[in-house]
Amino acid sequence: MSRAYFSYLRTWLGFSLVSWQEDRLRAFILPQKSKEKALSIFQKKAGFSFCLRPQEKSPFPYLEEAIQNYFEGYPVSFSCPFYLDDLTPFTQEVLKATALIPYGKTLTYGQLAEKIGNPRASRAVGRALGQNPLPLLIPCHRVTARYNWGGYSTYGLRFKILLLSIESRPDPGSSFTPFI
C-alpha cells in the first residue's frame, strides 16, 4: 500500500484539505466549516487505497498562498503537478483540458467536448468532471450547461456560483460576503 499525506489550509471560508503522494497532488477539498467536515468529505470521495498520514504543511508552499489569493478575488493559476493515474483515460483527458480554462472564463460541457475532439460527448464530459479530485485547482466550476449553471457534484450549485462570483469580482481584495 502506498503512502499519501494530507494537511489543512485555512481560508476565510473555512478549512480545505489537500492530499499529495510523492510530489503530486491527489485531492483537494473545498473549504468547509471544520477540519472534521473536510476530512469526512475527503473520505467519502477517496476512490483509491493508500495509507493516509497527516502533516503540518504541504510540500507545495506556494499552493496555500495561491488559494488564499484566489478566495480574496485575485486571478491565480494553479501549476501544481496532479496525480490522476487512477482515473480513466477519458476522465484524465477531460480534466487536463479543464485545467487549461483561464481564470474568469467559462466553457459549456459541449464546448469542452469539442476541445477534446469528441463533440457529441457533453454528457460524458459532465460525468468525468464529477470525478475531479482537485476542484478549484482543476477548475470544473468553469464548465456550465448551455442554458444554465449545470451541476457541481459533492459541493452543490451554490458553491459553483460562489466560485464563479469570486472570479467575476471587479475589485479583487475588497470585502465579499458569501451566501453559502
- The single-letter DSSP state of residue 147 is S
Strands (DSSP E) found in 22-87: 24-32, 51-54
Pick from 39, 17, 36, 13: which is nearest to 26 by CA? 17
Does residue 140 have an active-site annotation? yes
Grid coordinates representing 5? Answer: 499525506
CA distances from 177 to 99, 136, 180 (A): 27, 19, 9
8 A C-beta contact, residue 71 and residue 12: yes
- Three-class SS state of 108: strand
* 62: phi then psi, degrees, rounded to nearest 5: -70, -20
Distance of CA 19 to the CA centre of its chain: 12
Catalytic residue among 9, 140, 143, 162: 140
Residues with a known catalytic role: 140
